[in-house]
Structure 1
């Protein structure tokens, strides 16, 4: 039996934990460079704010209804997510972190699942400040469906019994199902399949033949047959990409190179945190596609490495070589990124008779990572990157909240 714990309007809720004045007022969290809405409080949704709506279209709501806007603070959100997960791990024997705001938990063997879920929901809210809903079902798809229904009910929905599922599935739109989405929904509706119950009861051979194994698996899960197990350990990634859009167009090649070096440093940190090494590097820099009247250039290069590595200095050397002659004069670059490719675990690599399988200074990288974990990211860095600087290519974050939980200098004061 699966449970899905989902933080309500997660980014907005994280902002409200340390800013009580935001509670009960319409709140929107904006994307990188304060571009568009990526999270909305219930009050903002009631005002008609759409997901992805540009920030400049919301200014009249600020003036008329007091809409509050905040720049995305992913460091804060990631730390708050970790706090929620720690509460779940104390309560459930097995936990799968599905996304920053969603986690599946194992409820097998719990007799009164609804009472357990209500107590857990209260504990998460009390200990972290994050309001949440919990959906319960014999499969992941049904738990996800139950969670969505819980948002409009009293916070907990248990679809453990077939009788509990019938009415909900009969009224649940097929386009809202996990695994369906906007692309498949019109095709299903054209076949007369408009609800989750209709998809569950459709001829399995037709679903498999017309839509493939993924939707066939969703259908089986709606029937109560688990096709996806709980994954406590995240599968190894095939690549790691770090990219950003710049606040302004950047023509200075040195500034673009510094941005790419910074992204390479962050990508290598993620690589080592997962115990992986890379055998390929891809760099790119794009001009502003939203200004077609300007000169355009999409620069990109990829190279395979003779030996795998997790050493930032090695990757930075590769990035520097890839940048030679890559950028053009007079082009304003708006976005750039670095990707590490062909990832693997060192002990799974095929040995090389004539050279090292993995290159780099593991001890140096371990010391660097340990310093930054203990004293905060950016305490120790490499000069080629935007380390401890406010670079020209930095993101626009004019409404950024303090790092309440990850910076000792920004801990909120308490007044007696």
Structure 2
């Protein structure tokens, strides 16, 4: 939308520069011709030079300061109308008061200027204001001249009189009708543009929803079936496959549960505020965030991951925090981050005996961390989920760290700015 408006303003600016330039040269020619007249009217000696000065000033202003387009258009329109109205009333009153100076012989050629002003209105003014301003301008310029012809029918029968009467009467009426048609056409174009814009916004919104659904599906598969599959493959490689059929059946159920959550209409309608964990449990994201952390922690540690069995000491504490500024998507991603960090402990932390999971308020930041005392990470290993964790930290305007501790173990920490609860 903003790109379209910028292109329209650039086009209007070029048109106004051209109009002001031509208007200035036309006024210069008019000034020279009036100077050559044997008995010029004082108004004819003042108006054209004044128009030259005003056009030049507006031209320089618009060229140097492109942002002044609206200001230049309004000032130029006001001056143009004023320089049309004053001669119309001046020469008409002069003809009324001085019968020896007929209007058809003294009135300057205003009709071309009036047509030009009405055309410029179509460029400058909004459609809702266009028709009203056009009628007022027409009336202010044409009213004294047509009134004069009513009281002086002799001048009306002359060629100049007929030309003025037709141009200011029927021809200008047709011009107003055309402006009214342009007004309706512009409204139709604007409405069609808004409808098309809404259509594109709906497409983008649907694509965004599909993208989020795909990301959630990938996370669910990673935290659920892929964890089970990795452990199953590890045990098969080591020859420990006594319950292979049972574990394959569990893996099949987990994969089907993910697909069911993405395709079942009853679940799709409520998926906005529902989080499905990797092993199938669903929790309501409308609950306070620290309650969600407690539930994710409790459910995940019940999973049959090998290194959960060796944990002897479990420390858990999630301090309340103000989560109203977090969207449901961010709350979902935070819970999935915690589930993933806990699953990594259960899958990779060999020899772990102590697990510490906390969420604490540190000044104006909330710090969520998972720490174990296992063997630590292989320095050459770059987990694929590290990229998604970094992206989550960027969305929260926070930081993510995963480090191997000097005395063994891994610390995963995610922090972001928040208000105290």
Pick the TM interval, shorter chain: under 0.3
TM, length-normalised to structure 1: 0.17
Using CA pairs under 8 Å that are at least 6 residues apart, name the structure with larger relative contact order, 1 or 2: 1
Indicate the structure with greater helix content: 2
Query: Which of the pair has more CA radius of gyration?
Result: 2
Indicate the structure with greater strand content: 1
